[in-house]
Amino acid sequence: MSTRNIITTLFLTLALIVVSLPAAAQSEAIAKAVPEVTHKTWSAGAAIPTPVWGAATAVLSGNIYVAGGSTSSSGDSTAAVQVYDPATNSWSSGVSLPTPLMASASAVVKNVLYVFGGSSNINCSPAGSGVWAYSTKTKEWAPKASLPTAFCSADAVVVGNVIYLLGGYDGTNALSAVQSYNTTTNTWTVEASLLSPKNAPAAGLIAKTTIVASGGYINSEGSATGDTEAYDIATNTWTELTSDANPRNAQCFGAVGAALYVAGGSPATNVNESFKLKNDKWTTLTPIPQVTTFSNSVAYKGKLYCISGETSWLGSMLDNVQIYQP
């Protein structure tokens, strides 16, 4: 008998046993079979093999890809790709980027990982305009149409087949540029600019029709902002929202359900918050256990993953994986 048939047989046997029990016993058996979720808590994943900050991070085929980044506080960039499997809590090596990159943006559409911009050095000099796409079928990186505006430290948000790139840094100034990439046609469109420049902000798609962008540096001196604004995809317009009372950049962030979650960031802080567009309100949550900046973040299956990073800007490297369950 095959492994699949054995598993199927065991599952059906368990189901028959549960059904044959009294109603109260059925409920108890089902409750024990389904792992209990403890909300508003942090947990730890397996440490990343090589600590990095500023890596391109996204979920591809059920795994979290951490592509490139800096391996030291001095900004030594790498082309290595590290892959985390949340199901097994384990790490493996992926196919390296064609070139060392840090401070790139990333997103996945139709099982293809896209990496945008970035630089080979901490000064973002020069800012990159390159675009690379990785497919698990070919296991190769392929070049795509270049960015209209080169950047480091922008955010990527996926809406259908289109990827929106928000803000960033050109090596001199924080950017308000918004660029959208159509993955089907391999073409770019320049969209309405952010109301305020944002370098290394937090962003996510909320309610399927609106992108929320918050925080980031607002100038080359590194002044952080709590500015928060919403982009209406249908009308190509931005609207000012309630500012985050904790101005910061380089946060761990991700959209889960109807909220944008933001944890840590620079100036170094352990503050963890959520923002809901429905009531235009920020809510303080359980602090992140280890203060982290420029961590490699992603939201997956209702959880926020904060991977590696630094203790502060130019501080000590971290190898931990911090996971928040809203």
The pLDDT tens digits of the residues spanning 64-116 come to: 999 999 999 999 999 999 999 999 999 999 999 999 999 999 999 999 999 99
Nearest CA among 208, 226, 123 for reference residue 169: 123
Task: Report pLDDT for 28.
Answer: 52
Both structure tokens of 84: 């985390």
Task: Report pLDDT for 36.
Answer: 77
Task: Report pLDDT for 22.
Answer: 56
Nearest-10 Cα torsion for 238, 266, 103, 262: -50
How far apart CA 202 and CA 274 sit, in angstroms, is 11
Find out whether 85 and 63 touch, Cβ atoms under 8 Å.
yes
Find out whether 321 and 307 touch, Cβ atoms under 8 Å.
yes
Cis peptide leading into residue 289 (ω within 30°) = no
Task: Report pLDDT for 92.
Answer: 98
Q: Which residues of the chain have pLDDT under 50?
A: 1-21, 26-27, 29-31
Q: List Cα–Cα distances, 57 to 68, 152, 165, in angstroms.
A: 9, 14, 14
How far apart CA 194 and CA 213 sit, in angstroms, is 9
Q: Measured on CA atoms in the order 48, 134, 188, 125, is the torsion positive or negative?
A: positive
User: How far from each other are the two terminal CA atoms of the chain, in whole angstroms?
Assistant: 42
CATH 3.10.450.50 fits 38-325, yes or no: no
Indicate the DSSP class of residue 5. Answer: H
Q: Mean pLDDT score of the chain, rounded to an integer?
A: 91
CA 151 to chain centre: 17
